[in-house]
């Protein structure tokens, strides 16, 4: 376990009062975000010289052979710190809420807080739902997560929700001041200070920018929280009605309905299966 500077970490979370109000999962998530933002950065410069700076693309690449996992691996499949936990069995006919509770813990808090924020802003309910599911697939696969998410959810959600979650990941790289969205500072650390968005993503952005569902897609990025509100515990139970109206739950259970993406849900259900 890398060393954490306690004072830095407390400040990062907004002080001791903020930490007191956090759930155990929120704290675990916060530690992970903190480590992503700090441990992967290049070492701090000696006192009195330049402050910490984000790594360059070349420096991030040099870190690849220093890890036992790849950064694109889903959170269920590789622990960034320590070992993976034993998982609880899923109930028969597992539904989306069961997966959120028992398999998608790595991003459930983040997604629930994003959905809560969208609901407080009175956004359309399908956008609230899109926020609720937008990053759940990170537990299966991180690389290309917008496209993985869209594929995994497509049989069960509207075309608009599929579009919004497919393209939210690319919109994250493109600021929209009018919408209140800036390029995330965290991305300088995660992708490199000199990272250049590849041409295919630039083209994807230009297509989405002109699309009638740009607004819904942009809303996901605006509500994409990287903070943890003190004292706020968001439960999936608060969104069962939204899920009921926007997710076509297969009666056989997710992974068992014979759909073209059933194997993706089974992979999330049984991530310890060796083949």
Q: Which parts of this chain interact with Fe ion (CB under 5 A)?
A: 135, 169, 224
Residue with smaller CB distance to Fe ion, 40 or 108: 108
Residue with smaller CB distance to Fe ion, 95 or 113: 113
Residue with smaller CB distance to Fe ion, 95 or 221: 221
Distance of closest approach, residue 20 Cβ to Fe ion, in angstroms: 25
* CA distance readout (Å), 263 to 148, 252, 259: 13, 14, 8
Distance of closest approach, residue 135 Cβ to Fe ion, in angstroms: 4
Residue with smaller CB distance to Fe ion, 103 or 167: 167
Distance of closest approach, residue 248 Cβ to Fe ion, in angstroms: 23
Residue with smaller CB distance to Fe ion, 98 or 135: 135
Distance of closest approach, residue 107 Cβ to Fe ion, in angstroms: 7
| Max Cα–Cα distance, the chain, nearest Å | 63
Residue with smaller CB distance to Fe ion, 94 or 150: 150
Beta-carbon contacts of residue 22 (< 8 Å; ≥ 6 apart): 13, 30, 228, 230
> Closest Cα to residue 25, out of 107, 129, 95?
107
Query: How many separate helices (H) and strands (E) can be counted in the chain?
Result: 14, 0
* CA distance readout (Å), 4 to 9, 46, 230: 7, 18, 21
* CA distance readout (Å), 135 to 68, 89, 203: 24, 22, 22
Distance of closest approach, residue 5 Cβ to Fe ion, in angstroms: 26
Residue 125 to residue 115: CA distance in whole angstroms: 10
Residue with smaller CB distance to Fe ion, 75 or 250: 75
Q: Name residue 4's beta-bridge partners.
A: none
Distance of closest approach, residue 246 Cβ to Fe ion, in angstroms: 18
Distance of closest approach, residue 139 Cβ to Fe ion, in angstroms: 12
At residue 143, φ and ψ (nearest 5 deg) are: -60, 135
Instruction: Report helix, strand or coil for 176.
Output: strand
Distance of closest approach, residue 219 Cβ to Fe ion, in angstroms: 12
Instruction: Report helix, strand or coil for 217.
Output: helix
* CA distance readout (Å), 262 to 37, 140, 258: 34, 13, 6
Residue found under tokens 């995330």: 184
Number of other CB atoms surrounding residue 61 within 10 Å:
11
Residue with smaller CB distance to Fe ion, 112 or 169: 169
């Amino acid at each position: 376990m890398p060393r954490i500077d306690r004072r830095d970490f407390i400040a990062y979370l907004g002080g001791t009062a903020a930490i007191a109000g956090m759930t155990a999962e929120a704290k675990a998530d916060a530690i992970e975000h903190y480590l992503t933002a700090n441990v992967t950065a290049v070492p701090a410069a000696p006192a009195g010289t330049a402050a910490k700076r984000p790594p360059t693309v070349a420096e991030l690449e040099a870190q690849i052979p220093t890890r036992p996992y790849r950064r694109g691996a889903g959170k269920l499949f590789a622990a960034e710190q320590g070992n993976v936990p034993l998982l609880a069995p899923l109930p028969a006919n597992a539904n989306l809420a069961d997966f959120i509770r028992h398999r998608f813990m790595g991003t459930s808090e983040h997604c629930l807080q994003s959905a809560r924020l969208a609901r407080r802003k009175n956004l359309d309910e399908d956008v609230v739902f899109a926020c609720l599911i937008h990053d759940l697939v990170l537990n299966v696969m991180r690389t290309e997560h917008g496209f993985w998410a869209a594929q995994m959810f497509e049989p069960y959600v509207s075309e608009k929700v599929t579009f919004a979650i497919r393209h939210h990941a690319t919109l994250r790289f493109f600021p929209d001041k009018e919408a209140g969205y800036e390029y995330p500072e965290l991305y300088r650390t995660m992708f490199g200070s000199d990272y250049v968005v590849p041409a295919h993503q630039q083209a994807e952005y230009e297509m989405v920018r002109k699309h009638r569902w740009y607004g819904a897609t942009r809303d996901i990025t605006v509500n994409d929280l990287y903070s943890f509100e003190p004292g706020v515990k968001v439960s999936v139970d608060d969104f069962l009605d939204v899920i009921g109206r926007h997710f076509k739950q297969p009666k056989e259970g997710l992974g068992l309905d014979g759909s073209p993406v059933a194997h993706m849900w089974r992979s999330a259900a049984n991530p310890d299966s060796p083949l």
